[in-house]
Amino acid sequence: MSELRVIDVNVGIFDANNRIAEETRRENRSSGTFLVNLMASPGAGKSTTLLRTISMLKDKYRIGVMEADIDSVVDAEKMARAGVGTIQVHTGGECAMDASMTSEAIKEFGGRDYDLLFLENVGNLVCPAEQDVGASLNVEILSIPEGDDKPLKYPLMFEVCQCVLINKIDAREFFSFDDEKVKERILARNPQAKIFFVSAKTGEGFADWVAYLEEEMAKDKAAV
DSSP state of 204: T
Note whether 34 and 213 are within 8 A (CB). no
Number of Cβ within 10 Å of residue 15's Cβ equals 9
What is the C-alpha separation between 178 and 49, in angstroms, rounded?
A: 22
Report which of 173, 184, 174 is spatially closest to residue 149, judged by C-alpha positions. 184
pLDDT at 198 (0 to 100)? 98
Q: 58 in helix, strand or coil? A: coil
Mean pLDDT of the chain: 91
The pLDDT tens digits for 45-97 are 999 999 999 999 999 999 999 988 876 677 778 888 888 888 888 887 788 89
pLDDT at 13 (0 to 100)? 58
pLDDT at 57 (0 to 100)? 97
**Does the pLDDT of residue 6 top 60, yes or no?**
no
pLDDT at 90 (0 to 100)? 83
Q: Which of 9-13, 15-19, 101-105, 110-114 has the lowest mean pLDDT?
A: 9-13
What is the C-alpha separation between 60 and 212, in angstroms, rounded?
A: 15
CA 16 from centre of chain: 21
Total-model pTM: 0.91
**Does the pLDDT of residue 35 top 90, yes or no?**
yes
DSSP state of 93: T
